Chains A and B, each alone.
Chain A
């Protein structure tokens, strides 16, 4: 270890602030590991998409619709995520992979649909690249040049003459880098490369086993140099080794001009810079470097003796622009030649150039920066802020991005952290008195991880209780924050949301944001009093406070809601609607009747309230994360923040360039701040959790669902299948094993539960509920009615030369703004050309089998069954309309007002987005049910012939004045069909296996029409004879996403198969003979719906854990670090002979990452970059029946990086015998210590690795002995030198 580095270490035995660096490193880990986990989550989302088919008998058609909806969205995403490292995901999912053989890049099997292809029109192979031998990824070692390439395909490596190894990270001996001394300089490279380069440059190979780049470079700089007198009068100022090789006589610490050496070199002949040095030096007449320049020549010459830097002249501040002292000092200054007219030292045209950056751009104003300093620049306010009403929200504006600026040798460079804030800029500021230093780095935005910390509350004992673990996780993650919505006593919840929300694509046809997660319904409770109806509870949901808090939640999800872009222009993208609730009975239970009045919806909280957040705020920055997880990953104890063990330091130092700027600043920082902050900002992977990738599309599709039956406002109310339903549905799907959906499902369901609780609380008098519903929509860029205005807005993107315009920034400025010449260094944002034509609407497709478009006219179309009839009751019909240009559409069942703006905010599936395809669903109840539930209006008449009026507007706000009409009718025949169990959905799903030991479970079943249901353990019983009733919701507004819910608790489940038999009886409103006469008999299932559950017969077990084939608890030895360790876990039992999904982590309570290879009974993970130490690995496995098993594995890693030591030397008979402290091979040379073992005059003392080494005893001989241990550690110089005198 170099002297200066040692001194750094010695001076920093206390805790050292280098948190930022470690966090940055940790991002690398996140990058590699989160990918797998996220891919898994996305894979699960595929199940969701498939499950969406369940809502219809004609699943395939609906599937097509959904496929269309998510085309280029979800499928692509699923495709992307399951590749390569996660072949296991592919194995489980339906997504299959093809491989481009020329690039070894996997592409989804439906690559044509996705517009993907292999470069150069090569036909892809029908297999994942992992399964193609030539495309397996690993390390490629170029033995000709000694260079290593990570993540390299086997085929191209071998074909090019490389040696391929399956360790993708290249933690193999051949790639181990050490210190290659090249004269007075050094390169951190492999031994083979050292050999090649040395040979090429005319040096003898001098490869030092210094495994740390910084130490290597420090070592090179600290080599003792001196005068090497070659022959009479000739002298060179070089190292001892170089001199020895040149057969010169070495005078360490002497200058060639020293008078005692009698050389021809005359002192202080001229001045200049020196290669690999920063100072200005004197040179003698032979061209040899002398001491650091000082105008005081006598002091500088120092009587011909080398004068150390620290004893050389110093005028302070790095001697910037000093004319008398050339002791330049990084990071402040560096030797530089001067041009005519510039200030220079007295004796030559050189100066210590100021490397700092004056008046560098700052977040607010400008600031002087030090060379090597990095800092963040933001386009607007970032992170949590407080809106006018006092509630928190995440304030990153739409179109804003995070930038990292750096000062490098006087130049300021600004780089974008990543697209759409996928990567954010974090910084750490060290301040002491007036001194301040900032170091920044771009890190993956963990926005999606924040969402995964939900729910923060769960139902327990009839009330919501905090989930402490999730809350803690959310609080611990500096990228997350808790959004509290506490509008009223019974409308309170909290959600973990991103502190720095990710941006969304603003022009994609398919929204992939999660805005709808913030959709909420507040149930307001009213009581009839003498004075009339009075609000009793949740009254604040009808006030502006509700609108503000809900909008803040919506904005915090990411580019949603009423908010602004980065220049302070905005749009409103929320809906708040008052809807009718239900009448309550004296027990507080809901009646089947709707309430008298709708909730009184407050006005939306406008985007104009946020304009001030477009301005960056002084002092705002992203805080670094905790580093405990990173410490554990490299075998260090959490909480240990010092470099005493060098473990962290060494780990970072093995990555070339990793520490760069931070290292350079160390001296400066220590000098000025007394701390070491090694924040050279090692690479930052941009990957982040993408778990929500699929949700956006799916949620948008699901939550935008509406049901259309006529009857003025009442029909719209019926449409509200609702948010709570979606939440429940998600839980349903999650039951099939997707943890992620479980999380999201609970987020939504938790809120639903709150609402239910409210209803249960009140049970007195004449009461009713009313609903205030909040809908959070994707943010839309502003539209303008003139080209000039639009163009002026777009051009704002082109006005900052330091921050080039990007697609995201451009498109946030206006709906017509488009980025041009993207393939140039300075893209330009311009507006689309103005046009005044409204969108032309035409029929798309009817996607539900059995239905069609009929009687098509220019502005009208009819939907009928294929035989020309009306739509069957309780049937969903999906269809699309198309526009000839991107447009936003609304619909109404009444003849709408004359303008688009005045229409109610009823949107198709695509919500408020501008698209060319617009998706709708019509769901029809039976006529009699509508009548029974007293949906107001002349329903029979209306349902007999309904019109849906559609209007669309384009980017220029042109809209069709004449509405486009979609006509349809409902079957007016009496309902004679039984509940269709072909459409029944259950949770747990029919045929599911429950975990070992389960003896009871809740069953929830959704059926296609309101009905009462029973079940029995015996098959074939009539409905009336069945003994167990299910609790079925039969109200008109009780319909959830999947249908009408029935619940029950199944008890006495036994290991193995459990069957129940279910039958239902529809038309629950038929109670009396009069009803029968009016509506006909109730329809009862004559066949059982057989519902089967299995209970696991075995526990899931972990049989073994090994690390590099060594059982857990063992020790792994290696000669160098970092080391890659193969972890293998075997499972057995459970529902499928051990087949399970396993995760691992390094903290008992910390992150868990999916194994690289899992979904079987053997689970493998390569643990990379391990330094010496003890490692605890926490393993959690779960099978499809939710059988879980957790355990802990442990291994110790011993690194032997020291060469053998001679511990004893003695004569034994006629031999010289040497004992070493470890097994080694030893050799000796009679001439010097600088020899290779295969040199001609080198003799071996050993035949094999041994601690004993023997050589012939030759009196008078000198033995230069050098040894190599099992790990290839060789003595630098000699292990020992012996003269037998």
Chain B
């Protein structure tokens, strides 16, 4: 019986822990930082990397599948098999017949950087705040200054360059850290380069020879889907990582018959 009491106590404790965890999750669920547990030493970069990664990847994934936008009224709502409806942005568009599409985002990489930045700006700031909170929990006196951040897209990586300054004081010693570069492995930039090439050729030639491109550059898998309203939806995928970018174009459309 005594053993059973012990078991019941354990169950109650476990139950309380679970309930507490659920309450904490409800309270801090939206804040990615709550999942982060700093080590003994404050490693700001690792913290920020861990803190921002999920949101960044979620954002990049969302942007990638929506034609480079979080929200763009110029889009094609479409549903691929086994997927949900999604608003896919037109990166090249004309509503007229017979003419090539107009490039809607001629400096695509710059746009993508800004789109990511806009979408994760609150989260990055939260992460920065959480970083200082964590440091304070480790008995540091923390002075911080947050000056925003930039998103840089480069081949094989995405860099979040946080413009901030943290001054730590503990047991009379002071250290200062500024400019936090967080690097994530990603083919997003390389995808964007291929996407820009496709858009450019579509705007010029009304076509992109994707089979040939895949042959020359076997790391890419490109799918071209023609919808019934003559919109073409491209999906570019990096074979090794599975990262995808999907976008729509509409140009050089010919109406039925001789009209």
Interface residues of chain A, those whose CB is within 8 Å of chain B, are 28, 31-32, 35, 38-39, 73-74, 77, 79-81, 83-85, 102-107, 116, 119-120, 137, 140, 142, 144-145, 147-153, 156-157, 160-162, 168-170, 193, 196-197, 200-201, 213-214, 217, 372, 374, 406, 408, 415-416, 418-420, 422-423, 447-448, 451, 502-505, 508, 511-514, 558-559, 655-664, 680-688, 690-697, 806-808, 819, 821-827
Interface residues of chain B, those whose CB is within 8 Å of chain A, are 73-74, 76-81, 85, 92-111, 154-157, 189, 193, 196-197, 199-201, 203-217, 224-230, 252-259
Q: Report 26 cross-chain contacts, Cβ distance below 8 Å, ordered by A residue.
A: A39-B98, A80-B96, A81-B97, A105-B93, A137-B102, A142-B108, A145-B193, A147-B108, A151-B103, A153-B103, A160-B110, A162-B107, A162-B110, A197-B155, A201-B156, A213-B216, A374-B211, A418-B254, A422-B254, A422-B256, A508-B256, A660-B211, A661-B212, A697-B259, A823-B78, A825-B225
Instruction: State whether A512 and B107 are in contact (beta carbons under 8 Å apart), knowing that A85-B99, A806-B228 are contacts in the complex.
Output: no
- What's the Cα separation between A1154 and B191 when bound, in Å? 38
Instruction: State whether A147 and B213 are in contact (beta carbons under 8 Å apart), knowing that A80-B98, A137-B102, A140-B107 are contacts in the complex.
Output: no
Residues on the A chain within 8 Å of B217, using CB? 657
Residue from B98, B196, B209, B226 in contact with A687 in the complex, judged by beta carbons closer than 8 Å:
B98
B74 to chain A: closest residue by CB:
A119
Residues on the B chain within 8 Å of A168, using CB? 204
**B182 CB to nearest chain A CB (Å):** 16
Asked if A144 contacts B74 (CB within 8 A), the reply is no
**A77 CB to nearest chain B CB (Å):** 5
- What's the Cα separation between A697 and B225 when bound, in Å? 32
Asked if A160 contacts B97 (CB within 8 A), the reply is no
Asked if A152 contacts B156 (CB within 8 A), the reply is no
Asked if B259 contacts A664 (CB within 8 A), the reply is no
Residues on the A chain within 8 Å of B105, using CB? 156, 160
Asked if A822 contacts B227 (CB within 8 A), the reply is yes
Q: A85-B99, A697-B259 are in contact. List 13 more A-B contacts (CB 8 A).
A: A31-B252, A79-B96, A81-B97, A193-B193, A200-B189, A511-B257, A558-B257, A558-B258, A681-B209, A683-B207, A683-B209, A686-B253, A823-B78
Instruction: State whether A105 and B257 are in contact (beta carbons under 8 Å apart), knowing that A149-B106, A660-B216, A822-B228 are contacts in the complex.
Output: no
Asked if A153 contacts B110 (CB within 8 A), the reply is no
Residues on the A chain within 8 Å of B154, using CB? 196, 200
Asked if A170 contacts B200 (CB within 8 A), the reply is yes
Asked if A140 contacts B259 (CB within 8 A), the reply is no
B231 to chain A: closest residue by CB:
A823
Asked if A663 contacts B215 (CB within 8 A), the reply is yes
- What's the Cα separation between A451 and B258 when bound, in Å? 11
Asked if B213 contacts A660 (CB within 8 A), the reply is yes
- What's the Cα separation between A445 and B26 when bound, in Å? 61
B229 to chain A: closest residue by CB:
A822
Residues on the B chain within 8 Å of A140, using CB? 103, 106-107
Instruction: State whether A693 and B78 are in contact (beta carbons under 8 Å apart), knowing that A145-B109, A682-B209 are contacts in the complex.
Output: no
Residues on the B chain within 8 Å of A201, using CB? 155-156
- What's the Cα separation between A504 and B154 when bound, in Å? 48
Residues on the A chain within 8 Å of B212, using CB? 657-663, 680-682
A162 to chain B: closest residue by CB:
B107
- What's the Cα separation between A658 and B227 when bound, in Å? 24
- What's the Cα separation between A827 and B79 when bound, in Å? 10
**B191 CB to nearest chain A CB (Å):** 13
- What's the Cα separation between A787 and B103 when bound, in Å? 46
Closest 6 CB pairs of A and B: A660-B212, A683-B207, A512-B259, A657-B213, A692-B258, A140-B106
Residues on the B chain within 8 Å of A157, using CB? 106-107
- What's the Cα separation between A419 and B253 when bound, in Å? 9
**B118 CB to nearest chain A CB (Å):** 14
Instruction: State whether A105 and B95 are in contact (beta carbons under 8 Å apart), knowing that A120-B74, A200-B154, A200-B155 are contacts in the complex.
Output: yes
Residues on the A chain within 8 Å of B189, using CB? 200
B199 to chain A: closest residue by CB:
A149
Asked if B95 contacts A107 (CB within 8 A), the reply is yes
Q: Which of B78, B94, B100, B257 gathers the greatest number of chain A CB atoms within 10 Å?
A: B257
A contact face: mostly helix, strand, loop, or mixed: mixed
Residues on the B chain within 8 Å of A142, using CB? 106-110
Instruction: State whether A147 and B205 are in contact (beta carbons under 8 Å apart), knowing that A558-B257, A663-B215, A681-B211 are contacts in the complex.
Output: no
Asked if B259 contacts A690 (CB within 8 A), the reply is yes
Residues on the A chain within 8 Å of B203, using CB? 149-152
A442 to chain B: closest residue by CB:
B207
Instruction: State whether A160 and B106 are in contact (beta carbons under 8 Å apart), knowing that A103-B93, A693-B259, A825-B81 are contacts in the complex.
Output: yes
B82 to chain A: closest residue by CB:
A825
Asked if B258 contacts A512 (CB within 8 A), the reply is yes
A824 to chain B: closest residue by CB:
B79
- What's the Cα separation between A513 and B206 when bound, in Å? 25
Asked if A825 contacts B80 (CB within 8 A), the reply is yes
- What's the Cα separation between A119 and B215 when bound, in Å? 37
Instruction: State whether A415 and B79 are in contact (beta carbons under 8 Å apart), knowing that A513-B258, A514-B258 are contacts in the complex.
Output: no
- What's the Cα separation between A69 and B189 when bound, in Å? 51
Asked if A827 contacts B228 (CB within 8 A), the reply is yes
Asked if B102 contacts A104 (CB within 8 A), the reply is yes
- What's the Cα separation between A105 and B98 when bound, in Å? 13
Asked if A657 contacts B210 (CB within 8 A), the reply is yes
Asked if B74 contacts A419 (CB within 8 A), the reply is no
- What's the Cα separation between A217 and B215 when bound, in Å? 12
Residues on the A chain within 8 Å of B85, using CB? 823
Residue from A39, A147, A807 in contact with B109 in the complex, judged by beta carbons closer than 8 Å:
A147
- What's the Cα separation between A145 and B188 when bound, in Å? 14
Instruction: State whether A156 and B257 are in contact (beta carbons under 8 Å apart), knowing that A656-B197, A822-B229 are contacts in the complex.
Output: no
Residues on the A chain within 8 Å of B201, using CB? 150, 655-657, 683
Residues on the B chain within 8 Å of A104, using CB? 102
Asked if B156 contacts A502 (CB within 8 A), the reply is no
Residues on the A chain within 8 Å of B81, using CB? 824-826
Residues on the A chain within 8 Å of B109, using CB? 142, 144-145, 147
Asked if A512 contacts B257 (CB within 8 A), the reply is yes
**A1186 CB to nearest chain B CB (Å):** 26
Residues on the A chain within 8 Å of B256, using CB? 419-420, 422, 502-505, 508, 512, 808
- What's the Cα separation between A691 and B254 when bound, in Å? 12
Asked if B205 contacts A683 (CB within 8 A), the reply is yes
- What's the Cα separation between A434 and B18 when bound, in Å? 72
Residues on the A chain within 8 Å of B80, using CB? 824-825
B251 to chain A: closest residue by CB:
A151
Residues on the A chain within 8 Å of B216, using CB? 213-214, 217, 656-657, 659-660, 663-664
Residue from A406, A502, A680, A823 in contact with B258 in the complex, judged by beta carbons closer than 8 Å:
A502
A86 to chain B: closest residue by CB:
B99
Residues on the B chain within 8 Å of A107, using CB? 95-96
Residues on the B chain within 8 Å of A695, using CB? 258
Residues on the B chain within 8 Å of A416, using CB? 226
**B115 CB to nearest chain A CB (Å):** 12
Residues on the B chain within 8 Å of A558, using CB? 257-258
Asked if B100 contacts A151 (CB within 8 A), the reply is yes
**A497 CB to nearest chain B CB (Å):** 12
- What's the Cα separation between A144 and B193 when bound, in Å? 13
- What's the Cα separation between A795 and B98 when bound, in Å? 32
- What's the Cα separation between A31 and B106 when bound, in Å? 22
**B177 CB to nearest chain A CB (Å):** 25
Asked if B257 contacts A559 (CB within 8 A), the reply is yes
Residues on the A chain within 8 Å of B258, using CB? 447-448, 451, 502, 504, 512-514, 558, 690-693, 695-696
Residues on the B chain within 8 Å of A151, using CB? 92, 100-103, 200, 203-204
Residue from A116, A160, A659, A682 in contact with B205 in the complex, judged by beta carbons closer than 8 Å:
A682
Residues on the A chain within 8 Å of B92, using CB? 151
Asked if A661 contacts B211 (CB within 8 A), the reply is yes
Residue from B73, B96, B110 in contact with A144 in the complex, judged by beta carbons closer than 8 Å:
B110
Asked if A415 contacts B226 (CB within 8 A), the reply is yes
- What's the Cα separation between A197 and B154 when bound, in Å? 7
Residue from B157, B208, B254 in contact with A688 in the complex, judged by beta carbons closer than 8 Å:
B254
Residues on the A chain within 8 Å of B254, using CB? 418-420, 422-423, 686-688, 690
Instruction: State whether A152 and B106 are in contact (beta carbons under 8 Å apart), knowing that A657-B216, A680-B212, A684-B207 are contacts in the complex.
Output: yes
